[in-house]
Amino acid sequence: MVPRPIPSSPATVSLPAPLLLLPPISGKPSASFSLSSSGIARRGARCSAANKPSPPPSAAPGNEVSGGSSSSMAKIRSEVLSPFRSVRMFFYLAFMASAGLGSLIALTQLLPALGNPARAAGVAETLKGLGIDVAAVAVFAFLYSRDRKASDAQVARLTREENLSRLKLRVGDGGRVVPLSELRGSARLVIVAGPAEFVAESFRRSRPFLRDLMERGVLVLPFPTDGNAPALEFGEEGDGEAEAEDEEVAGKSRRLWQLTPVYTSEWAKWLAEQKKMANVRPDSPVYLSLRMDGRVRGSGVGYPPWQAFVAQLPQVKGMWSGLFDGMDGRV
């Protein structure tokens, strides 16, 4: 057998080009607006969030999110918000141990004195010390229990907020999908959840305060719980100055109400848990407002108090911007 000559250069193999463009997710929300030829939104605009079956964000490879990570992050935030609580609890335990040891020593002295009349003179002093030690144990146990309950309640609340921050939303019409945590430090989110009629009425009630709400960094996330799309009227037909004014109002309305929930089943699950904990009926329309740092400011049943938002929230621009981000009202 004659050996074949080895080629001087390796053979080239043509590989197919990688697929860089992926099809859109089938369950992404859609927000449709009726636009004229000039691009101005007109009456009858509708905003909707799709709820088609699709894998949740946590199911995507490389994006696994466990409940333990939320709890760990909540504990870290709890330590930051209450840095001296752990120190207090440590000293409470130390004082309880010291008083308990004193009580044990007093008992070892009291029991022999009760059976020996010669040592009866010191019984009163021993009982006094035992009473002080027992009272100290009771006081410090109460203080420790109070701080422990406050810590557990705070961690539970922060865990719910961390779970909320991982929910997905879409910014604008056809914009990118981001987690809610991306809005921290840049916007105060107001979640309006209820039937489509409730969401539409909340939108109409916000129109007199559009400019003031935008100056305070407020963004609204409409979440119709009945599956219907609320009719959001961003503008009307008009001529001249009226049309220009309508265009300005429509633009502000679109910017204020530009968010759309993604994976609405996850939003509904989180909202149902909050209603259950607050003893609120599952079908009750509610609102939820967040601080600039992502913490829950307040919530309630019914329409959002837009006027109270304007009265209590500081503006995001000016000399006070950023200073009171964590103390921006209670509504």
pLDDT in tens, 296-324: 888 999 999 999 999 988 887 755 555 55
Amino acid code (one letter) for 88 = R
Got the DSSP string for 268-326?
A: HHHHHHHHHHTT--TT--EEEEE-TTS-EEEEEESS--HHHHHHHSPPSSSTTTTTTTT
Place of tokens 């859109």: 24
4/202 Cα distance (integer angstroms): 83
How are beta strands 296-301 and 286-290 bridged, if at all? antiparallel
Cα separation values, 286 from 115, 190, 272, 298, Å: 70, 11, 11, 11
Phi, psi of 21 (to 5 degrees): -100, 115
The dihedral over CA atoms of 320, 322, 324, 328, expressed in degrees to the nearest 10, equals 110
Alpha carbons 300 and 95: distance in angstroms, whole number: 42
The number of CA neighbours under 13 Å toward the Cβ of 167 is 22
- 0.95 cut: is pTM over it? no
What's the N-to-C CA distance of the chain in angstroms?
91
Give the number of other CB atoms < 10 A from CB of residue 246.
20
Contacts of 311 (CB under 8 A, 6+ apart): none
Q: Around 11, how many Cα atoms within 13 Å sit in the side-chain half-sphere?
A: 5
pLDDT value for 244 = 54
**Residue 48 Cα distances to 198, 277, 304, angstroms:** 14, 28, 20
Query: Which pLDDT value is given to residue 202?
Result: 93
Q: Tell me, what's the pLDDT at 125?
A: 85
pLDDT per 10-residue tile (average), the chain, 331 residues: 47 38 39 38 43 44 49 77 89 93 88 74 82 93 94 85 88 84 88 93 91 89 88 59 58 81 91 89 92 86 93 74 53 47
d(CA 312, CA 322): 15
Write down the residue that tokens 């309950």 correspond to: 149
pLDDT score, position 31: 40
Which tokens in the block code for residue 136? 């100290």
Q: DSSP letter string over 48-110?
A: ---------GGGSTT----HHHHHHHHHHHHHHHSTTHHHHHHHHHHHHHHHHHHHHHHHHHH
The encoded tokens of residue 241 equal 């100055």
